[in-house]
Amino acid sequence: MKKITFLLVGAALALAACSKTETVNGPSVDAIGFDGAYIGNPTDSRAVTTIDNSISTFQVYGQYTKDGAQAVKVFGDEKGGVEVSKQTSGSWTYTGGLRPWIEGAAYVFAGYAPKNAAAPKVNAEGYLTWENYDVSANQYDLIYASQTATGQKTGNQQVGFTFNHLLSIVGFTFKSGFDANTKLTISNVTVNSVPSTATFTPDNSVTASGNIGGSWGAASDPKNYSLTIAAITEAEGSSSNNFFAIPQAVPSIEVSFNVMVTTLAGEELVNSKSFTTKVPVGTVTKWNPGYKYNYVATITPESLELEYIQFGDPTVTNWEEAADETLPLQ
């Protein structure tokens, strides 16, 4: 877990993210089988919409080479991968009939999800690449995994994938610097000119913790993202929905939004004040794959140029001395 705090136009912004993965070995099988799908889990941030890391289907490609011959495709072709799906029994099955293991063959398997994300291409070695992937048109949690194996006559293990997230997640939280009797409404939140198209090139290695199996090229094609957010009535503020972004050096982008301020009694203090501010790039310099980034802004009366009740230095009146009285003794 790491947490970074920085300032922006009277607003505190914070970021927190972690990741973890796990793998499980499966039983011995004679036909090629899959033992499930495990996904690296970025730690949830309250400010980012919860992402469901469980999956029930994924698309798989697979091929083998033997004795220096040309690669033979076992799963998938130029039309797409083969779907592997989880059954109610907990087992994972695929379409098109069982594929037998070939003794002595060197296999490369690669998988991704979800199916409705833009389909990849398969390179000569059997790993996946996404050319000119437009994340603005593919707002999905794109995950990828690969695995290698050598076919045995007996004792073959199921193919176990550990999927890694290929994209970054970006979201925003707005907090109120007013008292509990004041309501803030944030509207028209737009993140402007985010470079959103890039190519993912595999490095021909098995994906595992800390290795997503490739890298993204430079992102281009700036796009705007419109976000929604509930009214702020509680101290912890309100969070927008999030968007998936190409991992990249944090681009020079702007966030614009409108602020309305009313009392709980219904009195309007600010009708609609527009803000446009840059996302800072000095402390957090890069959006990494598999990390969720949350920018937190606190809206204060000062940022809205509102005058508010203040108290000056107090004075206390002096004690007055009364005339001495004589105490009679008897």
The pLDDT score that the predictor gives to residue 205 is 94
Average pLDDT score over the chain: 82
- Those residues with Cβ within 8 angstroms of residue 321's Cβ, 6 or more apart along the chain or in another chain: none
**CA pseudo-torsion sign 304, 305, 308, 311:** positive
Task: Report strand pairing: 292-299 vs 254-263.
Answer: unpaired
What is the topology classification, in CATH, of domain 168-304? Immunoglobulin-like (2.60.40)
Share of the chain above pLDDT 70, in %: 83
Instruction: Say if residue 180's pLDDT is above 90.
Output: no
Instruction: Say if residue 104's pLDDT is above 60.
Output: yes
Give the pTM: 0.80
The pLDDT score that the predictor gives to residue 52 is 54
Q: What is the pLDDT of residues 236-274, one digit of tens each?
A: 888 889 999 999 999 999 999 999 888 888 888 888 888
Question: Of 128-132, 148-152, 299-303, which gets the smallest average pLDDT?
Answer: 299-303
Domain 21-165: give its CATH code. 2.60.40.2620
Tell me the mean pLDDT in the region 85-91.
88
Among residues 126, 56, 40, which one has the least CA distance to residue 91?
Answer: 56
**What 3-state class would DSSP assign to 304?**
helix
Task: Give the start-to-end residue ranges of the domains of the chain.
Answer: 21-165, 168-304
Among residues 197, 203, 277, which one has the least CA distance to residue 245?
Answer: 197
The pLDDT score that the predictor gives to residue 94 is 93
Among residues 154, 201, 188, 169, which one has the least CA distance to residue 294?
Answer: 169
Dist CA 224 CA 253 (whole Å): 10
Comparing 9 with 124, the larger pLDDT belongs to 124
The pLDDT score that the predictor gives to residue 19 is 32
Question: Of 11-20, 149-158, 249-258, 266-275, which gets the smallest average pLDDT?
Answer: 11-20
The pLDDT score that the predictor gives to residue 32 is 55
Confidence label for 219 from pLDDT (cuts 50, 70 and 90): very high
Among residues 98, 109, 35, which one has the least CA distance to residue 71?
Answer: 109
Share of the chain above pLDDT 90, in %: 49
Dist CA 327 CA 215 (whole Å): 95
Phi, psi values for residue 329, rounded to 5°: -105, 135
Residue whose token pair is 């912004």 = 13
Among residues 182, 210, 156, which one has the least CA distance to residue 40?
Answer: 210
The pLDDT score that the predictor gives to residue 209 is 77
Element (H, E) at 28: none
Q: What is the pLDDT of residues 22-58, one digit of tens each?
A: 222 333 345 655 554 433 333 333 333 344 567 889 9
Comparing 210 with 207, the larger pLDDT belongs to 207
Which two structure tokens, joined as six digits, stand for 56?
């029930």
Dist CA 191 CA 171 (whole Å): 10
The reply to whether 21-165 and 168-304 are identical in fold is yes
Dist CA 75 CA 245 (whole Å): 30
The pLDDT score that the predictor gives to residue 207 is 92
Instruction: Say if residue 5's pLDDT is above 50.
Output: no
State in Å, rounded, how far the first CA of the chain is from the last one.
81
Phi, psi values for residue 227, rounded to 5°: -120, 155
Question: Of 87-96, 118-127, 130-139, 276-285, which gets the smallest average pLDDT?
Answer: 276-285
